[in-house]
Structure 1
Amino acid sequence: MACRISELILDCADPELLAAFWCEVLGYVELGREPDGGIEIGPPGVGFGGPLPTLILSPTADPRPAKLPLHLDVSPTDRDQDAELARLLALGAKPADVGQSGEESWHVLADLEGNVFCLLRTRIPAV
């Protein structure tokens, strides 16, 4: 028997802003709202417990650490890496420098609150 990741929680200053951003990036929809102002997003028609984890944008006023010890990697599903990079930048993602050499096959980006994530090269099937 094993565990499976069912939810990812991201503390943030503006759950509305990040929920909209990550819904566009991942093709997710809003699934629900928490009493504390958090917003859960996930795959349309599936929700919690499906094959993909949901993402909860949880409001916090705590200062953010300089670099989170965990980041997300995303892969394009219906276009090549260059086209997906252009789409993510148009959504407001920004290039981020975490000390990469420039020879990597992935792009390091930051979301609208500066949370770092990577866009990988390999296209994978949409679930």
Structure 2
Amino acid sequence: MACRFSELVVDSRDPEALAAFWAEVLGYEVLGREEDGAVEIGPVTGFGGPAPTLVFAPVAEPTPGKVRLHVDVSPTDRDQDAELARLLALGATRADVGQREGRAGEQDAVSWYVLADPEGNEFCLLRRRLDPL
């Protein structure tokens, strides 16, 4: 028997705002709120469905140092450039981690964009489109 990825917990200064951002990015909805201020978002199927949920837990201070985990997202109903424009309009910003963005086939160029959410958590927008759930 194996484990299954069911949820990802993200420390955040403003769980409501960050949950709203990621719900828009992923097409998720708010599934619940805890007394401590944590907000859980996920697909309409809820916890335990085909995709993991995200829980934004309140913390006073962000974790110091480099975060060792980040999220990758793939467009579902548009190409990468159109999805990049949508994410930037939602409040994402470009993050420079030393990558060289470019088109497929360009020497040393990567095929993804590194972005940061409104609290500075880095995530990548991949080129390959996936079918929506």
Q: TM-score, normalised by structure 1?
A: 0.96
Give the Cα–Cα distance (whole angstroms) in 1 for the partners of residues 82 and 100 of structure 2. 22
**Structure 1: 5+ residue stretches without partners:** none
**Structure 2: 5+ residue stretches without partners:** 102-108
**Residue 94 of structure 2 contacts residue 114 of structure 2 at CA under 8 Å; is this kept in 1?**
yes
> Please, which moves more after superposition, 6-15 or 98-107?
98-107
The structure 1 residue matched to 2:122, chosen from 116, 121, 127, is 116
Aligned CA-pair RMSD = 0.8
**Shift of residue 72 of structure 1?**
0.2
Corresponding residue for residue 61 of structure 1: 60
How many aligned positions are there? 126
Corresponding residue for residue 28 of structure 2: 28
**Shift of residue 76 of structure 1?**
0.1
Which is greater in Rg? Answer: 2
2:82 counterpart of 1:83: yes
- Equivalent residue letter for 2:123: F
- Equivalent residue letter for 2:31: L
**Residue 12 of structure 2 contacts residue 62 of structure 2 at CA under 8 Å; is this kept in 1?**
no
Corresponding residue for residue 5 of structure 2: 5
Give the Cα–Cα distance (whole angstroms) in 1 for the partners of residues 35 and 56 of structure 2. 12
2:49 counterpart of 1:43: no
Q: TM-score, normalised by structure 2?
A: 0.92
The C-alpha deviation readout for 1:1-38, integer Å capped at 9, x for no partner, is 11111010000000011011000000000000011100
Matched position secondary structure for 2:132: coil
The C-alpha deviation readout for 1:75-109, integer Å capped at 9, x for no partner, is 00000000000000000100001111331100000
**Shift of residue 64 of structure 1?**
2.8
2:102 counterpart of 1:96: no
- Equivalent residue letter for 1:42: G
Give the Cα–Cα distance (whole angstroms) in 2 for the partners of residues 15 and 87 of structure 1. 21
